[in-house]
Structure formats: structure tokens, C-alpha cells
Amino acid sequence: MFKVLAAGLLAAGMMFAVDFSIGIRIGPPPAPRVVRVRPAAPGPGFFWVDGYWYVVSNRYRWHEGYWTRPPYEGAVWVAPRHDGERWFEGHWAGPRGEFGHDHRWDRDRDRDYGRHHEDRR
């Protein structure tokens, strides 16, 4: 009886398995803009994020390149990309997991620094 119940629960669980993707279906972005001069780093520990296109209301908006400190030590910036079918947002990745950039923080000098513990989208 136990084996039948376990097999039934396993089968039911497999029926509800979900394949989750965070890509957004949209055409490829325009070519990146050419930046001729990169400003000097504001201090030690800052990382340059190249300018990139990002999606807002099913269209692309340009984000100028900027200096920022990563949200935590060991995090690296993974640039946004389009794989031919879907758009994938840029994000920070590292030993503490992935962490997205929130464009509401763009006026902040430290932008992403120390925010990895806040609302993780």
C-alpha cells in the first residue's frame, strides 16, 4: 500500500513540474552605442559596467555605461544578452547568488553596492 501511495504522489508531482524561464520574448536590441571616452574610476573597488540596452514596456532603452561597486565582494557583472529568441536582463552573479540591477537606483553613486540583502527580484 505504501509503494502505491508513494508512486501516486510522485506521478502527481511530475504532472505539476514547471519549467521556469526569466527571458522576455522580444526582438534583438539595436547595436550598442559607441563610447569614445570612459571616465576615470571614482575610487578603488569600482567596476565599469558598459552601456547596454534594456527592456521597458516591450521596447529597448539605452543605459549609459557607469562605474559602480558590486553588491557584494566576489560578484561579477553578467551583461544583458539576446539569444536569438529571448532577452535576458543583465545581473550580478557570484557566491551569494544572482542579483539584478534596479534602474531606480541609477542616481545613487553606489547603485548596487550593499543591496544584495534587500528585495531580491
- Give the residue extent of every domain in the chain: 23-121
Instruction: Measure CA 49 to chain center.
Output: 13
Grid cell locating 90: 543583465
pTM over 0.85, yes/no: no
SS3 category, 13: helix
Predicted pLDDT of residue 110: 59
Residue 74 falls in which region: left (phi positive, over 0), alpha (psi -120 to 50) or beta: left
- Return the ∠ at Cα 63 (arms to 60 and 69), rounded to 5°: 140
Residue 108 is placed in which grid cell? 545613487
Low-confidence ranges of the chain (pLDDT < 70): 1-24, 102-121
pLDDT recorded at residue 78: 93
